[in-house]
Amino acid sequence: MSKTKALKEKVLKAQVASDIASLYVLEQEAHETFDEETLHGFYANILDLALEKLTDTLEAHRVMDMNEVQDFATLRALYEYAVEHYSAGQFNDAAALFEVLSGLSNDKKFSKAMKLHWIAAVEKVPFDDFLEKIADLEATQKMGTFYISEFTKKAQELLDNSQEKGE
């Protein structure tokens, strides 16, 4: 069996099981094996599963548990989707996604970070400026989180300004 076919079978098995975490485990192999179009489909499937889990979570009136592997993977997928919108300049869509994410997890640090992302998107801070002036990427990397979790002093100014406006 070819490497590509074997990987596609693993991916299909994970998809059928709605196992986003397993798909992320296969991510590096997918990058090394799949062509651009197949890779795009791979990520589209992760997003579809994450949106399904989001709907189920909201309907169940529960929050996601960052310590539960599927919830963690779902939050990661939704975060990546929100960042994709933000980096593409789709501020309203990104802001809506970050707002949902800020209330979706039981992890206070994640929720606080999503609020900062949300405010930056509402204020239409260009993504590059967000990365350069508000996010502390070096500190985030040390923390090892999948999301931007550490921020500069400029982030506090952004929070203060938004509170003055009543957002």
Task: Tell me the pLDDT tens digit for each residue of 47-100.
Answer: 999 999 999 999 999 999 999 999 999 999 999 999 999 999 999 999 999 999
Q: Where do the structural domains in the chain lie, given as residue ranges?
A: 1-62, 79-167
pLDDT of residue 1: 75
Task: Give the total residue count for the chain.
Answer: 167
Query: Residue 52 and residue 46: Cα distance in Å, rounded?
Result: 10
- pTM for the model: 0.90
Half-sphere exposure of residue 142, counting CA atoms within 13 Å on the CB side? Answer: 5
Quick check: helix, strand or coil at residue 135?
strand
CB-based contact 79:118 (threshold 8 Å): no
> Where are the alpha helices (H) located in the chain, listed in sequence order?
3-16, 20-25, 27-33, 36-59, 69-87, 91-102, 108-122, 127-129, 137-143, 153-165
Encoded tokens for 25: 């485990």
Task: Tell me the pLDDT tens digit for each residue of 112-144.
Answer: 999 999 999 999 999 999 999 999 999 999 999
pLDDT of residue 135: 96
pLDDT surpassing 90 at residue 106: yes
pLDDT-derived band of residue 158, with 50, 70 and 90 as boundaries? confident
